[in-house]
Amino acid sequence: MSSETSSRNTQANSRDTGAVKFEPAIELDRASHLPLHAQISAPIRRAILEGHILPGTPIENEISMAQRLKVSRPTARQALQSLVEGGFLLRRRGVGTIVAPQPKRQLMRLPSLHEELQAEGHESSTEILQYNHRRATEAIAEQLGVEVDAPVIELERLRKRDGVPVAILYNWLSAEIAPSRDQLDGHGLYELLRRAGVELTSTTQSVGAERPDKREAKLLAISMRDPVLTIDRTAFNSRGDIVEWGFHIYRGDLYRYESTVFAQPEI
C-alpha cells in the first residue's frame, strides 16, 4: 500500500466551471482491511486539518474522482459524504462541494456499545476475533495521524446482547494506548481508554446502510438479504489528535443510531 501524504491542485475534469479543484493524490490498496471510501477520505480530511487546503476551496466531484481512482461512484460519493457529515465539506447548489468555512467535528456522547447495552439493562459480552500487533500502512497512518510503520493494534470483535450477536467492531489505534486483549474481554474500548487517562471528546463519522457479505451475515446470525448499519468513526481528544479509528457493522433489527448534529454557518 502506498498513499502520498502530499496533495495537489489540478484542473478538475468537470463540465461546470474550469476552476482549479482539489484532487487528493491517492493509491488505493484493494487488499487492505480499510474500506476504499476511507482510504479516499483520509487524505482530504488530513489536508483540511493541517491547513493545506483553505475554506471555500472546490473539491473534485464524485464522477471525476470515481473515474480517476477507478472506483464506483457510490464509493466516491460515500468518501465525500463522510466528510460532509463530519463538517469538513459543504455542498452548494451550482457550486459543488467545497471546504467548510470552519471545519467542525460532530459533538456527541461517546460511550462504547458495551456501556450502551449495559445501560439499557442487557447483558453485554464480547468475542475477540482478532487482536493483531502490526505496523501502520500508509492508509492506517493517514487514519490515525501516526508515522508509517508505527506500531498499532488492529481489533476485530463480535459484540453480543444477551448472547445474541449485534455488531462486528473493527478498530485501529496506537499500540502505546491500546488496552490488552484480556482487558477487552469484559470491557468496552472507550471505557478502557478513559480509565487509562486517554481523553475522548469528539468524533467524525459516516453512517450507511448496506447488505452484509457471507462472513458478516454468518457472524451476525442473519441472512445476506438483511440490511446492516455501518458506522465509519474517528475519535479525537480535546487537542484534536486522533485517538482511534473504527468501522462497525450493526444488525439493523437490534441497533438504533442516535446523534446530535450542530448546524454549519453559511458562506
Is 10 a domain residue?
Answer: no
Is 2 a domain residue?
Answer: no
Q: Give the DSSP letter of residue 113.
A: H
Residues in the chain predicted with pLDDT less than 50, given as ranges, are 1-18, 103-110, 262, 264-267
Residue 31 CA neighbour count, 13 Å, CB half: 3
Q: 93 and 118 share a domain? A: no
- pTM here is 0.61
Q: 87 and 140 share a domain? A: no
Average pLDDT over the chain, rounded to an integer: 79
Give the CATH number, domain containing residue 51.
1.10.10.10
Q: 244 and 144 share a domain? A: yes
Q: 179 and 76 share a domain? A: no
Q: 122 and 227 share a domain? A: yes
**CB-based contact 204:231 (threshold 8 Å):** no
How many domains, the chain? 2
Residue spans of beta strands (DSSP E) within the chain:
8-11, 20-23, 89-92, 96-99, 124-135, 151-161, 164-174, 202-210, 228-236, 242-251
Rounded Cα distance between 76 and 37, Å, is 6
Is 95 a domain residue?
Answer: yes
Quote the domain boundaries for residue 76. Answer: 36-99
Is 49 a domain residue?
Answer: yes
Q: 134 and 237 share a domain? A: yes
Q: 92 and 41 share a domain? A: yes
Q: What's residue 3's pLDDT?
A: 39
Q: What's residue 105's pLDDT?
A: 46
Q: Where are the alpha helices (DSSP H) in 11-72?
A: 36-49, 62-69
Looking up cell 487509562, which residue turns up?
196
Rounded Cα distance between 52 and 8, Å, is 10
Q: 87 and 201 share a domain? A: no
C-alpha cell at position 260: 446530535
Q: 129 and 42 share a domain? A: no
Q: What percent of the chain has pLDDT over 90?
A: 29
Closest CA relative to residue 103, chosen from 59, 52, 143, 45:
45
Q: 84 and 148 share a domain? A: no
